[in-house]
Structure 1
Amino acid sequence: MAEVIIKEKSGGKQNKKPIKIDMTPMVDLNFLLLMFFMFTSSFTKPNVMDLGLPGKNTVYEPHNVIDYRNQITFIIGENNRIFYHQSSKEDLTEAGLKETDYNGLNVSKIISNAYEKAPRKEIFTIIVKPTDDANYKNFVDMMDNISISKKERYGISDIKPWEKKVYENLIK
């Protein structure tokens, strides 16, 4: 552990006793303390988004196409722009693709109005279609707005070519 070496000198000077300390047990103690604090501390938990996934016993009808009146489509574009429509492939025009902002009240109001006009409210679906130029923050904001509107049926899809054509004509 600690060792004291005494050197005797003859003369009138005071004897100095050099001390040598063995640090090996201190290293072991530091290692044990480090391991203790690493195992007992809590690390930052990752931020995750809760997606409402369907239950295990949900029956799907994949061949049935949802009528455009029972759905609303949001297209997330570039520069923090978001567009929405409730049109079929044949009916979608630049006038039918409307723009809004990410304010939760506006999006919730748009979803509520579309829901009220839906002939079959039990299958009302919100479809989110991010473009290649959309950023992740806008997508998360849109998912938050859907959560605020308390609608449980939603889907995420790629933008269709006919929608992309109308969208690109509108942003030019």
Structure 2
Amino acid sequence: MKTNFLFILVFSFAFLSTTHAQRMAEPGVLGAGIASSYPAYGLSAKYNFTETHAAQLILGGASYGYDSTSFSFGVSGRYLYNFDILGDSFFFKPYGYAQLSYFTVKYDYYGYSDSFNTIGFGLGGGVECEIPDFVEGLTFSGELGYVGGDFGNGIDSFAGLSYGASVHYYFDF
């Protein structure tokens, strides 16, 4: 019974993967969308230099756990390496990334206001996928990684597990 189920599952994925053209790793395409990868979130742009090498910019806010009176800004630049493990016809592509970020937070807490800035770093990986026969060029991704940074005030530093998701639409640039 297990063998039959495994065979059907593998056959279904193989069929879906061969009936769909992949745009997410084509050279010279730009992906625009939204991304959230702790602590950064916001608008995202991805550009594929080659099938293997890409860059991503995330511009928006950052979440640090401050209250609603705080303001945050974050910009993250990433180098992405797309792995070609399953071939170009498969509907998902694993990737690894290295990230450098700038984060700032300003808050006003009962009349006391302050601001902190940091340069952050990150390493991780994820999977980007297209849903066959849905919307050509629309991709979804999920990722896990490690991030770190220190605001220099002796209190607010962060390091640890990073998790995220994004949605991008790819078009010719």
Instruction: Tell me the TM-score normalised to structure 2 length.
Output: 0.23
Please say which structure displays the higher CA radius of gyration.
1
TM-score by length of 1: 0.23
Hey, which of these two has a bigger chunk of helix by percent? 1
